[in-house]
Amino acid sequence: MAQARQKLGLPPRSANPDDGYTAIVLYADDTEYLGVNGNLASKNIVFPNPQQFAGAIGHAEIDGLNQLYADRLVSGKSGGVGIMYVDRMPCTAYCLTEYGNGAIPKAVSLTGLNGLEIYYVGPDGETARFFILPTDLLWVLGM
């Protein structure tokens, strides 16, 4: 994640004080996608009906999945499982809500992935992971 933050022009991750940036690395279709949040996120939203993502449109996870979606529109690929590394826990307000209502499950569905495995470092410093299906959110905490 440190290299991804450097490629994105972000400072090293700081939890205290919080640096305010989130970075992701997404691997899918033999390609690496880098995503970032806020004003640094892509303004070229390719997803149809972007308002369906509510407050998550500027989140790093959606930025990376939007890039994958754009590539898949051109290539016609679908299926497979993506792997995403996030330098902090994805937000539970917009990105992760149960039963497919969150922005990440919606984006996974639109990309045509069969699933997305996400790894992040939690506030306690431990690595956690969970798996997202296009229609639901399955938590698998711990490593």
Domain boundaries, the chain: 2-140
Cα distances (Å, whole numbers) of residue 73 to 6, 76, 106, 136 = 29, 6, 16, 23
Segment of 8-22, 87-101, 127-141 carrying the highest mean pLDDT = 8-22
* Separation CA 33–CA 113 (nearest Å): 15
One-letter amino acid of 87: D
> Mapping DSSP to helix (H, G, I), strand (E, B) and coil, where does residue 74 land?
helix
Amino acid at residue number 138: L
Tokens of 22: 């989130």
Q: Which CATH number fits domain 2-140: 3.40.140, 3.30.420, 3.40.50, 3.40.720?
A: 3.40.140
Q: How many residues does this entry show for the chain?
A: 143
CA nearest neighbour of 59 among 33, 31, 109, 23: 23
> Higher-confidence residue: 89 or 27?
27
Is the pLDDT confidence value at 95 over 90?
no
pLDDT, position 14: 78
Do 70 and 34 contact (CB within 8 A), yes or no?
no
Q: What is the mean pLDDT of residues 18-29?
A: 90
Check residue 78 and give its pLDDT.
95
